[in-house]
Structures are given as C-alpha cells and as structure tokens.
Structure 1
Amino acid sequence: MIESTAQGFSSRAIHAGYEPDSHMGSINVPIYASTTFAQDGLAQLRGGYEYGRVANPTVRALEQTLAALEEASFARAFSSGMAAVDALIRILVRPGDHVILGNDAYGGIYRLLQHDYGEWGIELSIVDTTDVAAVRDAVRENTRIIWLETPTNPALNITDIAAISAVKGSAAVVVDNTFATPYLQKPLELGADHVLHSTTKYLGGHSDVLGGAVVTNCADMDERLLYFQGNVGAVSSPFDAYLTTRGIKTLSVRMDRHCSNAQAVAEFLESRPEVSQVLYPGLSSHPGHELAARQMRGFGGMLSVRFHSEEQARGVCLNTRLVCLAESLGGVESLIEHPQSMTHASAAGSVLVPPADLVRISVGIEDIEDLLADFAQALDALH
C-alpha cells in the first residue's frame, strides 16, 4: 500500500493508493491502456508490470485504495462482483466441502452455489444467519465458508458478524459488504476473514462501471487471488478501474446523502396505509435496528417495502416517474424493482425466493422532496 498521511476515511478515499507521478504530476491516476510493458532486461520487470492480465498500474491503484478503505492489508479487483465471488469459492472450496448461505441472499450467489458448484459435489445449507445458534449448529467439519450478507438482499436483515465469527469453527467467514460499503461497516474489524464487494454498486456509484473486489488480511489468500487473476483472467480493465477510483473519491458524501434520503423515504412509506411493512434497519420497528446501530456507522441507502398484495407491489414499480424501474443499486439515481421477478428470479422454487408483495428500492441522492412526491403519487395511483 502506498503510504499516506491521510487518516480520515474521506481523506483516504481521495488520496490512498496513488501519489502524483514523477513524470507528469497527474493528480488523478492515469489510465494505463497497455496490454504489455517494456522490460529493462530479460525478466527484469519495471515496477513489477509485465502483462495486463497479470497486473496493471491503474488497477493496482484501485486495489490499494480499497485495502486502505477497509483498513486491510490486501485487495484484488475483478471484472465483476460475481467474478470475485467465483474466485473466492474456487479458492476455498473443493468437492465434498460444505458452504453455509443465508436464507436471504442475492439470487446469483445461490444459483452459482446450488446449480453450478452443486454439480461438482459442493454441499449447501441455507440458514437464517441472524440466528447465531442456528449457524453454529449448521457448521460441520467440512464447512469451508459461512457466507454473510448484512444488510441482506432484499429483506435488509442484520447479522451479527462478530458473533458468527466466534462460532465459525474452521470455516472462513466471508462478508458481502456491498450494501454497507467500508464507509458504514468494517467486517474485518468484527472478525470476518474476507470481504467481498460488487464495486459496480456504491463504490463506483454512478451506474457506469462493472467490477468486484476481495479484501483480506490473509497473505496466502492474496497470493491465491493474484494467481487467479493472472491464470483465469477475470480482471478489471484499466478504464473500469479508473472509473471506480473516481467514484470512490466521493463515497463518503454520497453515502451520507443515501442514508439520510433512505431514512426519510422509509419513514414516509411506513406512514402510508398502502404499505404493509417497511424493511429498513434505520427504523426502530426493524428487528435488527439496535444491532445495526452498533455494527454500522449508518443504515445505508437500501430499503424494501411489503405491500398488501403482489398487484400493489407491481403497480408501484410501474407508477414511479422520477424513480426508475431497473435492476442493480448504489448509483446516484433512485431505482425500484420487484425482486421475485427480476434480480432474484434465479431463486425461484427455493427458500430464498422473495415475497411476491415485496419491492426493493435503492434510494439515490436526489432532492428528498422530489423523491417523496414521486412515491406519494405512485401510491395514490393504486386507488
């Protein structure tokens, strides 16, 4: 990691990972759009770079920034969040091994573990990870991963990372920190072994770049991740790394606005008779509210809403005007979607399928008055 005098999170987000270069003094990390690098002699690498699939200076700067934000020793960037997920699974699990996954998780991870790795003999248990005793009882001698989302996607459940880490046995605790970001939550400090990010979401922050990352304090894991980057090749492109680095510079100010807007939207929706339940850890009515207040710096920009019927849920998704009907999350714009038929369709027929009356909202950084007015008219249109 490049040493920096920056101590605060926002300062590290701007300065960690890169210093103005000695050649031109560029304030921003340059986009090194080169597939190969000149060598000073036979196998004498200049700066450690030889081929773009193995390492790239722009990508390395992003990795150093991510490690600094999680206050970790190592980070490796991948071409997408799912590429990072796949690398972690392939490193940690072998045929005959066992994985524990939460009962509210992103459908793509369930699909990968159940359908793809299941064909190779990987055993999967679906457990309510908010129940520490249930996780402890599910751990076996061959359990290699306890995969946590907290907050979960899409029910926004909160899992006690420290408590799960205390009952993990020989398994590795992996925390998907995409919803919270390192600004709101530090899983490694709470006992997790490895942290996963879909940098596509809040870290990039502008819905214009795909990426993923694994962050860890384990030198052996970092070496194995580096091996996968070079030998499998699911690496970030220099341009994508540049865009993600640029997005990270404003992460703290964006997350503050995401949190305040989400709190206001959650409180407004909770007051409406059309709504059956609002799932947002910032509400005192949320069962994980107190844990989230201890474990997180803020409650995030994601919330889900349950209506009285599937028809109402679908209707609200189709009635918003400012809030866009689209998958993904974490951008500056507000998005709404119906998980059962969209992001979590791959969980159909499993215990992970979201309720048909549930809508997920990624609250953006627009003026809160405009957001509340849009939700009000969308709800009024149901009558």
Structure 2
Amino acid sequence: MEKKVDAKIAMETRAVHSADRKRGPGAIPVTTPIFTAASYIYEDVAQLDRVFAREEPGESYQRYSNPTNRALEELLADLDSGAGALATSSGMSALQAAIHVGLADRNRSIVAAESLYGATVHILMDIFEPQGVSVHFVDFCDRAKLCQAIDRHKPGVLVMETVSNPLLRVADLDEVA
C-alpha cells in the first residue's frame, strides 16, 4: 500500500507528529510513548504463537517488533516519502542489512572507500569476502580512480561514509551517486 504524503504539511510538522500516536478511543499522548518491554504476555499461548508466526498482529518479542521502533520507522518513511523503513539496533547491523539487500539481485562485488570505520572494513573483509563477495577499495574523493574502479569491477554496491571515520574525508555524494 503506497502512502501519500500531504505536501501541504511542513516537514517540521511531520517530524514532530508523524506516527507518534495511536489513534483510538480515549486520550491521545502528546509524545510518542516509549515501550521498554522485551517480551509480552498473552492469556492464551496459542494467540502468542499466532503473533510470533505473524498470522495475527501484536507484539511478541522486542527483537521482532516494538511500538516505539515501529513509530520511528513510520516517521522516517514519512519524512523520506518512502514505502517503509527499518530501524536496527546498531549502525553496523544497518550496514550489513543494506549490503545484503543491495547484493541480493546484483553483481556480488563491492567498491568501497579507502577511508572507512574499522568495523566496516571488518564486515567487508571478514564477513562478505568469505561469502564470495569481491571487495575493492578506492579513494572516493578521486573521481577518475572511482570511475575506473566502477567500470572495472561493475559493483552491485558502493560503500562510503559521508564523513569518513577516522580521517574525516568527504566525497561528493551527488557526484558519486
């Protein structure tokens, strides 16, 4: 289901109010509630099984779904006019998920910036390469070298940081795109 964004509603207003309140009877909270529960109790174990199996809507376990995370995902999707969003527990898990999705139906090759966070290099070299993904590092601030690497390796994914860690290098994102 494609969500239409009302262009008349300012981004600032959407940033404050999108996805932050459940509509329904009774009072509406002024701010997004924070749910800290790791698991949820149901009177009927069969119902919990159906929720776990996603045969029925509801909460079951923090790792699978949480109203606070869902509100964040809905907010980000709305602000970016996207079909959806995924909030992860860390930046590294977000990066790994994005690369897996990016390579799902593309050439299993990555061109990555030379200047990257150490854990990013670890994921590329120690997780993706052993899975048969070729990884090639290049200076993303040198357009000629970047273009040569892209032409040569035909990557399914490009990996860069908009401000690299730790060297604070900044490649021209529009140019790279």
| TM-score category of the 2 structures, normalised to the smaller one | 0.7 to 0.9
Q: Tell me the residue number matched to 1:185.
A: none
1:68 to 69, 75, 78: 78
Change (3 A) 1:62 1:24: same
Question: Are 1:127 and 2:138 an aligned pair?
Answer: yes
Q: How many residues align?
A: 159
Change (3 A) 1:49 1:135: farther
Question: C-alpha separation between the residues in 2 aligned to 1:129 and 1:62?
Answer: 31
1:13 to 15, 29, 33: 15
Question: Are 1:107 and 2:109 an aligned pair?
Answer: no
Query: Counterparts in 2 of 1:199-278, with a 5 A limit?
Result: none
Gaps of 5+ in 1: 166-383
For the residue of structure 1 that corresponds to 2:176, the secondary structure is helix
Change (3 A) 1:69 1:152: farther
For the residue of structure 2 that corresponds to 1:77, the secondary structure is coil
Identical columns (%): 28
Moved beyond 6 Å, runs of 4+: 1-5
Question: What is the CA deviation profile of residues 334-357 of structure 1, one whole-angstrom value per residue up to 9, with x for unaligned ones?
Answer: xxxxxxxxxxxxxxxxxxxxxxxx
For the residue of structure 2 that corresponds to 1:59, the secondary structure is helix
Question: Are 1:55 and 2:80 an aligned pair?
Answer: no
Deviation at 1:2, TM superposition (A): 9.4
Gaps of 5+ in 2: none
Asked if 2 retains the 8 angstrom alpha-carbon contact of 1:99 and 1:146, the reply is yes
TM-score by length of 2: 0.72
Change (3 A) 1:123 1:44: closer
Question: What is the CA deviation profile of residues 61-90 of structure 1, one whole-angstrom value per residue up to 9, with x for unaligned ones?
Answer: 011122234443321011111111121222
2:31 to 21, 25, 28: 28
1:93 to 97, 100, 103: 103
Asked if 1 retains the 8 angstrom alpha-carbon contact of 2:113 and 2:159, the reply is yes
Deviation at 1:119, TM superposition (A): 2.0
Deviation at 1:92, TM superposition (A): 2.7
Question: C-alpha separation between the residues in 2 aligned to 1:100 and 1:28?
Answer: 42
Cα RMSD, aligned residues only? 3.0
Structure with bigger strand share is 1
Asked if 2 retains the 8 angstrom alpha-carbon contact of 1:20 and 1:27, the reply is no
Query: Counterparts in 2 of 1:1-383, with a 5 A limit?
Result: 6-9=9-12, 11-19=13-21, 21-22=23-24, 23-32=26-35, 33=37, 35-36=39-40, 45=56, 48-52=57-61, 53-93=63-103, 97-139=108-150, 140=152, 142-165=154-177
